[in-house]
Amino acid sequence: MKGIFRKELKRALNIAPWRYMILIFIAIVIRALLLIIPVIFSNSIDYITVKNYDAAIMLLVFLLGIVFVYRMFESFYISAYYKLYNKLYDFYNRLALDKTVHNSLFSLSRFSSGEYANIAITDVDVICTFFTTGVIRVIQIIEFLVIYVYFYSLDMVIFSSAVVLSALMIFLAVRYGRKLQKYNEKRKDSLDGMTAGIYGFFNNIKEIKSYHLFDLINSKGRKEIDSYLEKNAKYSVHYNVSNHVFLYVFEAFRLLSVLYGLFLVKQGHFAVGTLLIIYNYYQKIIDNFTSILTTNLDYRNVIVSLNRFYRLVEYSKKEKDGKMLEKSDIQGSIHLDKILYGFRDNPTLKNASIDIPENAITVLSGRDDAAQNGIYDLLLKLNQQHEGIIQIDQYDINEIDDDCYYKIISCARRQSNLFEISIKSNLMAINDNFDDVLAISKRIGLHDKIMKLKDGYDTVLMDTTPISQNTRMLLIITRCLLKKAKIILLDDIVDSLDKEHEKLVLDILDELKKDHTIVIISNSSEVIARADQEFDISDKKITPVI
């Protein structure tokens, strides 16, 4: 993980180098002013002790100006901090979404919805916060060194005790931090389970209400919540108790150092004001040590978050430059040869081959839903085969540029989702010509159904939107046809339509097959009757039906 951390630190610095430089400059000014302020104040006290009130007043007035500059730079720091944080968050959040798109469905199946949401939101926040606050933490370490040099100039005992104490406390904090990291990992895993449970509760609220399952589902959800609260409490208690113990030791040593300093003042080794500097600088050591304790803990937290984030990143396929093709370059024949797909020890397809001609309707029948949908997942590049070749015409689909490839293929599936935007926006996201939207909607028998809705094409599609399942299927098919792709894939969504609309869809497909490749998963006799060829999918193999 250290290699990943160094890689991401380097990447973060490259994302916003100028913002880092600005933040570093402001942080140096702030910490320098914080070191100067107690020195000026202690000198004014020394002047008061010798009754030089004019000099003391001048120093206090000067100190007022220094404090104003300090506060001004603190406001600059806050602004610069969030500009850098926002830049990093935007990058990593985009990266998470990009890697999601370039992961296979098989790879994404490793994540629950709660875990994925926490990675893309919470873990990204942890990563960006660490790389942003790291600037002030580094400056605080330098401040440590300046304070030690000052103590060294005063007295060897004060210097030695501060250095030894700091080294010992840091050593113990790092050792204890490993234990806290384990608590945090368990807390994160428990948070994923709780988040997934809450998502599941909301997504299944219809079934929960319909079957009156609140007590059962709530009982399971409470267990997830109780588990998270227990692990979060254990993590928080151990962190806070250890923090307070460390800080108490530092407070005790601060008072002992002041007592020793008082002895040195009595011996005439330095002035009373120096005691104030020692007291204030020890406070800075305490503050900085608290920061280092937090840094140690944050480092361990960011390692956990990077590990989780890289689970999303590691299996995403890198986009490579492929063949740039136009629709006119594609005839539309599909060739799968000796495909091994799914789990190797229990594959969905084994040594499966099929040739689907262009300008024809091909039906995939049988009851092996996993294999049928597996073929579509492979053709849509949602998953990859272990063995075998998949070609469109003579081109391996993985060698065709994705932007080009997805222009030539379109798919409508019964389980497809419609976006929670208006019907018009859903359809025009695929084809921004509203005349085309109207034409296909009317031909497929969808237009009249839409116009019966209160807001017509402006109806926003939510779970609660009053449209029938038949209308929803017609919307999905219309969206697919609007793409005007060379290759059209439909699963048993056509079988789910009523007879009237099934015929309308099949009539359109009959017309389109003159210059399109159309593949339909179906066991409907009406659909099979329209097919130019049929293949039976069973026992992980593909067999032509004669």
Neighbour order of strands in the sheet with 346-356: 346-356, 334-343, 387-392, 395-396
Angle, vertex CA 496, rays to CA 492 and CA 501, nearest 5: 115
pLDDT single digits (tens) 85-121? 999 999 998 888 888 887 777 777 777 777 888 888 8
The β-bridge partners of 341 are: 349
The burial of 476, by beta-carbon neighbours within 10 Å (0-12 exposed, 13-18 middle, 19 or more buried), is given as: buried
- Across the range 274-296, mean pLDDT stands at 79
User: What is residue 400's DSSP assignment?
Assistant: B
Query: Cα(384)–Cα(349) distance, rounded to whole angstroms?
Result: 12
The topology under which CATH files domain 2-313 is ABC transporter transmembrane region fold (1.20.1560)
Residue 179 tokens read as 């234990």
Percent of the chain with pLDDT over 70: 95
Residue in the block written with tokens 């081109």: 395
Residue 106 tokens read as 């098989």
Chain centre to alpha carbon of residue 38: 44
Asked whether residue 137 carries a pLDDT value surpassing 90, the answer given is: no
Task: Determine how β-strand 487-490 pairs with β-strand 517-521.
Answer: parallel
Cβ neighbours of residue 543 under 8 Å, at least 6 residues apart? Answer: 535, 536, 537
- Across the range 127-147, mean pLDDT stands at 89
- Residue 177 — very low, low, confident or very high, per pLDDT cuts 50/70/90? confident
Residue 475 tokens read as 């919307």
Task: Please give the mean pLDDT across all residues of the chain.
Answer: 86
Cβ neighbours of residue 141 under 8 Å, at least 6 residues apart? Answer: 288, 292
In our burial notation (b when 16+ CB lie closer than 10 A, e otherwise), range 141-170 reads: eebbeebbebbeebbeebbebbeebbeebb
pLDDT single digits (tens) 461-501? 887 788 999 999 999 999 999 999 999 999 999 999 999 99
Q: Is residue 537 within 8 Å of 371, Cβ to Cβ?
A: yes
pLDDT of residue 358: 93
In terms of phi and psi (left: phi > 0; alpha: psi -120 to 50; beta: otherwise), the region of 366 is left
Task: Identify which has the larger pLDDT, 168 or 503.
Answer: 503
The β-bridge partners of 534 are: 363, 545
In our burial notation (b when 16+ CB lie closer than 10 A, e otherwise), range 479-493 reads: bbbbbbbbbbbbbbb
Handedness of CA 67, 73, 79, 80 (dihedral sign): negative
The burial of 216, by beta-carbon neighbours within 10 Å (0-12 exposed, 13-18 middle, 19 or more buried), is given as: exposed
Q: Where are the beta strands (DSSP E) in 344-431?
A: 346-356, 360-365, 387-392, 395-396, 409-412
Helix, strand or coil, per DSSP, at residue 352: strand
- Work out the end-to-end distance of the chain between its first and last CA atoms, rounded to an integer number of angstroms: 57
The β-bridge partners of 391 are: 335, 396
Q: Which amino acid is at 329?
A: D
pLDDT of residue 132: 94
CA distances from 231 to 149, 321, 464 (A): 43, 47, 37
pLDDT of residue 26: 94
Quickly list DSSP for 420-448: SSBHHHHHHTT---HHHHHHHHHHHT-HH
pLDDT of residue 546: 65
Task: Identify which has the larger pLDDT, 536 or 403.
Answer: 536
Query: Cα(39)–Cα(436) distance, rounded to whole angstroms?
Result: 77
Asked whether residue 1 carries a pLDDT value surpassing 70, the answer given is: no
User: What is residue 199's DSSP assignment?
Assistant: H
Handedness of CA 205, 211, 217, 219 (dihedral sign): positive
Angle, vertex CA 204, rays to CA 199 and CA 209, nearest 5: 130
pLDDT of residue 534: 93
- Residue 318 — very low, low, confident or very high, per pLDDT cuts 50/70/90? low
pTM of the model: 0.70
pLDDT of residue 322: 61
Query: Cα(394)–Cα(337) distance, rounded to whole angstroms?
Result: 12
Query: Cα(433)–Cα(439) distance, rounded to whole angstroms?
Result: 10
- Residue 274 — very low, low, confident or very high, per pLDDT cuts 50/70/90? confident
Query: Cα(357)–Cα(380) distance, rounded to whole angstroms?
Result: 18
CB-side neighbour CA atoms (13 Å) of 74: 9
pLDDT single digits (tens) 392-445? 998 898 888 888 888 899 999 988 888 888 999 999 988 999 999 999 999 999
Task: Identify which has the larger pLDDT, 185 or 347.
Answer: 347
Q: What dotted CATH number matches 327-545? A: 3.40.50.300
pLDDT of residue 444: 94
Helix, strand or coil, per DSSP, at residue 293: helix
Q: Is residue 397 within 8 Å of 390, Cβ to Cβ?
A: yes
In our burial notation (b when 16+ CB lie closer than 10 A, e otherwise), range 315-324 reads: ebeeeeebee
Domain ranges of the chain: 2-313, 327-545
Q: Is residue 396 within 8 Å of 384, Cβ to Cβ?
A: no
Q: Is residue 489 within 8 Å of 372, Cβ to Cβ?
A: no
pLDDT of residue 361: 95
Asked whether residue 71 carries a pLDDT value surpassing 60, the answer given is: yes
Residue 222 tokens read as 């409470």
Q: Is residue 77 within 8 Å of 30, Cβ to Cβ?
A: yes
Which region among 243-247, 289-293, 345-349 has the lowest average model confidence (pLDDT)?
289-293
Q: Is residue 25 within 8 Å of 61, Cβ to Cβ?
A: no
Q: Is residue 23 within 8 Å of 88, Cβ to Cβ?
A: no
- Across the range 268-274, mean pLDDT stands at 82
Task: Determine how β-strand 541-545 pairs with β-strand 387-392.
Answer: unpaired
